Structure 1
């Protein structure tokens, strides 16, 4: 897989915005689904896609709040979805299937980060359940509508915090919120690798990405004192210069969803509107870590996720 992880000379960069990467692209007649599309970089992704002409469906755990945030953005609609609840995932998918509209672009942008230890009714660790398993079940259930579509999984540089913890994926031997976040972000990347392998023959291509460092509601579970200690904010609550705005943070996932510059590619990890290089260093620094693009790990995760959720469109 790593041989595909080569920059392609996109012409964009870390300061490009979602509007920049869609300049000149007409999405009229297309339908997009953007989970988390009413907050943070998800909202800016929705805005950019809608402004380019796409009809954007925004699944939301809090539909009323989503409708408020999307007010004034034409071509958007809200439908109820709780990614932590597989019954809710199934119900949402059934409504979309009954609607019958083909989905051309799917951006899995919803997520949680560094939350206190929380379990789903099945006993799954919540970050893994929401960030990965809910999206895994959703994409598999929506597969009949994904015709030559792009499926984009929003991972993070946090993937370097943990590979898949096969000896304790549920953190039953002790919870670490950062490692749990890292495992879920590794899972997002591996999901794209295996989905692309399975679905590319049908014209469905999958990508994962690191959007960059951005101050968004995603950080709500991290106390301000910790954010200051980690250099995310200064004493006045302002982020450092290298942090992106929400519009810039949305650029890579928007580029992944719609740019013709990625035609013929898939199963790769992106950052700063470019195909990321492989970086074997587990410390800070750019690039994707090998454990997040390992095809054997991706196959193993797919089988494990199908077992847990009871959903596998490729069985």
Structure 2
């Protein structure tokens, strides 16, 4: 896999916006599903896709709030979905499949970060459950409607914080909110690797990505003091120059979903509207760490996720 992680000179960069990425793209007649598509970079992704002509379905745990965020935005609709509840995932997928529509784009943009220890379902750690398992079940259930589609699994540079913790994936022997977030972001990346391997022959290609450093509601569980310590904000609460706006942060996942430059490709980790290079250094830095694109780890995670959720479109 790592030998495929080579730049392709996309023509875009870390300051490109989602609107710029879609400026020359006509998505008329296409249907997209964007989880988290009413807040932060998800909202800007919805705006760009809808502006290019796609009809965007935005599933939301709080449909009333989502409807308010999307009020007046053409080509959008809201439905209910709680990624922490597999019955809710099934219900949303069944409603969408019953509509008879084909789906061209799925962007798994919803997520939570560094939350207090919380358990859902049969005791699953919340970040792993929402960021990975809910999306895993959702995409598997929607697969019958995917047609020459792209599935975009939004990871982050946070994948550097932890590989898969096979000895204790649910943090039952001690919770660390940062490592739990890191594991969930590694899982997002590995999901795309294995989905692409399984579904490419049917015309479904998958990508994963780091959207960049952006101040969004995702950081709600991190105090301002911690954000200052991490260098995310200064004493006045302003982000440093290298941080992106929400419009810029939405660009890479939008590019992954629509760019013809990625035709025939898949299973890749992207950043700054480019294919990321592999970085084996420890600590901060650009690129993707090998553990997040390891095909053996990806297959192991798929089997584990299918066992936990009871959902596997390829069984």
TM over 0.5: yes
| Separation in structure 1 between the aligned mates of residue 282 and residue 154 of structure 2, nearest angstrom | 19
- For 1:224, the equivalent position in structure 2 comes to 224
Is 1:296 the equivalent of 2:300?
A: no
- For 1:242, the equivalent position in structure 2 comes to 242
- For 1:166, the equivalent position in structure 2 comes to 166
Q: Is the partner of 2:46 in helix, strand or coil? A: helix
- For 2:307, the equivalent position in structure 1 comes to 307
Q: 1:259-270, aligned counterparts within 5 Å?
A: 259-270=259-270
After TM superposition, give the deviation of residue 62 of structure 1 in Å.
0.2
| Separation in structure 2 between the aligned mates of residue 183 and residue 271 of structure 1, nearest angstrom | 19
| Separation in structure 2 between the aligned mates of residue 261 and residue 282 of structure 1, nearest angstrom | 31
After TM superposition, give the deviation of residue 73 of structure 1 in Å.
1.1
Q: 1:19-34, aligned counterparts within 5 Å?
A: 19-34=19-34
CA deviations 1:246-281 (Å, max 9, x no partner) are 000000000000111100100000000000000011
Is 1:251 the equivalent of 2:230?
A: no
| Separation in structure 1 between the aligned mates of residue 24 and residue 123 of structure 2, nearest angstrom | 47
| Separation in structure 2 between the aligned mates of residue 157 and residue 14 of structure 1, nearest angstrom | 14
After TM superposition, give the deviation of residue 282 of structure 1 in Å.
2.5
Confirm or deny: 8 A CA contact 1:113 1:127 kept in the other structure: yes
TM-score for the superposition, normalised by structure 2: 1.00
- For 1:194, the equivalent position in structure 2 comes to 194
Q: Is the partner of 2:244 in helix, strand or coil? A: coil
Q: Count the aligned residue pairs.
A: 315
Q: Is the partner of 1:105 in helix, strand or coil? A: strand
Is 1:74 the equivalent of 2:74?
A: yes
Confirm or deny: 8 A CA contact 1:161 1:282 kept in the other structure: no
Unaligned runs of 5+ in 2: none
After TM superposition, give the deviation of residue 121 of structure 1 in Å.
2.6
| Separation in structure 2 between the aligned mates of residue 100 and residue 113 of structure 1, nearest angstrom | 34
| Separation in structure 2 between the aligned mates of residue 245 and residue 96 of structure 1, nearest angstrom | 32
| Separation in structure 1 between the aligned mates of residue 297 and residue 129 of structure 2, nearest angstrom | 18
- For 2:277, the equivalent position in structure 1 comes to 277
Q: 1:50-65, aligned counterparts within 5 Å?
A: 50-65=50-65
After TM superposition, give the deviation of residue 23 of structure 1 in Å.
1.3
After TM superposition, give the deviation of residue 291 of structure 1 in Å.
0.1
| Separation in structure 1 between the aligned mates of residue 281 and residue 186 of structure 2, nearest angstrom | 15
- For 1:211, the equivalent position in structure 2 comes to 211
| Separation in structure 2 between the aligned mates of residue 101 and residue 280 of structure 1, nearest angstrom | 43
Unaligned runs of 5+ in 1: none
Q: Is the partner of 1:252 in helix, strand or coil? A: helix
Runs of 4+ in 1 over 4 A off after TM superposition: none
RMSD, aligned α-carbons: 0.4
Q: Is the partner of 1:28 in helix, strand or coil? A: coil
| Separation in structure 2 between the aligned mates of residue 100 and residue 60 of structure 1, nearest angstrom | 21
- For 1:90, the equivalent position in structure 2 comes to 90
| Separation in structure 1 between the aligned mates of residue 160 and residue 112 of structure 2, nearest angstrom | 17
